[in-house]
Amino acid sequence: MALMSAQGVSVPGRLNDVSLDLQRGEVIGLVGPNGSGKSTLLQCLCGLMPFDGRVLLEGAEYSAIGANERARRLGFLPQSCQSAWSLTVRDVIALGRMPWGDEQSQAIESAAAQTGVTDWLSKKVDHLSGGQQARVWLARVLAGQPEVMLADEPVASLDLYHQLTVLDMLRRYANQSNGVIVSLHDLGLAARFCDRICLLDSGGVRASGTPEEVLTVDNIRTVYQVDAHIDLTTTPPIIFAKHVSTNL
C-alpha cells in the first residue's frame, strides 16, 4: 500500500486530474516550468488547498484522519517562510513539535544538526541571511518527525554546497522508511536524488516515471520549449539547455 496516494486531484484553472503514489523509502521529484502546478499540488497534498479528487494516507481518506494526527504525519515546507515575531532559531525549530504538544530537545537538536544550524540556535532568525533562514525552516519541519515530507523548492535560495547537503539529507530521510515529495527546478538535481519524477505542464502530468523515462529530449522540448543535452549515465547526471527550440 502506498504511503500517500493522490487520485485525480484537480483545482479549477490550476491542476487537472493529477495522480501519483508515494512509497516508503522513496523520493519523488515534481518538475516543470513556472506555473505548471507544482506548488498547488503540494498544497493540496498537505491539505492547505481545497481540491476535487482524493488524497489518501496509507489507504485512509484525509477526512477520516484527525487534523492533529495529519499534522504529525505530514510535514510541509513552503517556498518562502517568515515569522511575524523575532524568534530565536531554537524557537522556530520548536514550532515543529506543536502537533506533539511538547518541545522535545532531542528532536530539536537533531533537526538543527541535520541542517547545520546548531551554532545559530540562540540567534534571532530574522538576523540570518535568506539561505540560512531556509535551512532553519527546514529544521522546523524535521523536528516534527513526519512520515511524509512535502518540500516546495527547498534549495532555491541555497548555494551549491548546501543544495547538495539538503537534498542528500532528504534522500537519507526517505531511506528511514519515510517518503519525500520535493519540487525542483534543477533537472540534474532531480535526476540525481529522486527515484521517480513527475513532470507537470499546464497543471497536468506530461510524464511520470524514472528519471530515464521522464527526462527525455522530447519531453523537455515540449514542456520547456528548449533543446537539451542529456546524459544520465554520468555521476552526477548532466542536463542543460542547448538553445531555444524552433518548434514553438
Q: What is the CATH number of the domain that holds 105?
A: 3.40.50.300
Contact 108, 142 (CB under 8 A): no
Cα 173–Cα 147–Cα 159 angle in degrees, nearest 5? 40
The whole-angstrom distance between residue 91's C-alpha and the CA centroid of its chain comes to 23
- Condensed to tens digits (0 to 9), the pLDDT of residues 70-118 reads 999 999 999 877 766 789 999 999 999 999 999 889 999 999 999 999 9
DSSP 8-state secondary structure symbol assigned to residue 81: -
C-alpha cell at 46: 498537505
Torsion of Cα atoms, 225 then 201 then 194 then 72, to 10°: 150
Does residue 92 lie within any of the structural domains? yes
Handedness of CA 162, 164, 165, 166 (dihedral sign): positive
Contact 150, 179 (CB under 8 A): no
Cα 191–Cα 195–Cα 196 angle in degrees, nearest 5? 85
Note down the domain range covering 141.
4-207
Does residue 56 lie within any of the structural domains? yes
The amino acid sitting at 17 is D
Does residue 247 lie within any of the structural domains? no
| Distance separating the N- and C-terminal Cα atoms of the chain | 41
Determine which helix (DSSP H) or strand (DSSP E) holds 140, and give its type and residue range.
Answer: helix 130-143
Place of cell 518527525: 145
Determine which helix (DSSP H) or strand (DSSP E) holds 71, and give its type and residue range.
Answer: helix 67-73
Instruction: Provide the pLDDT for residue 248.
Output: 52
Does residue 199 lie within any of the structural domains? yes
Does residue 67 lie within any of the structural domains? yes
**Number of domains present in the structure of the chain:** 1
Contact 211, 194 (CB under 8 A): yes
Mean pLDDT of the chain: 94
pLDDT confidence band for 236 (50 / 70 / 90): very high
- Condensed to tens digits (0 to 9), the pLDDT of residues 191-233 reads 999 999 999 999 999 999 999 999 999 999 999 999 999 999 9
Instruction: Provide the pLDDT for residue 130.
Output: 86
Does residue 164 lie within any of the structural domains? yes
Nearest to 83 by CA among 30, 147, 12, 133: 133
Q: What is the pTM of this model?
A: 0.94
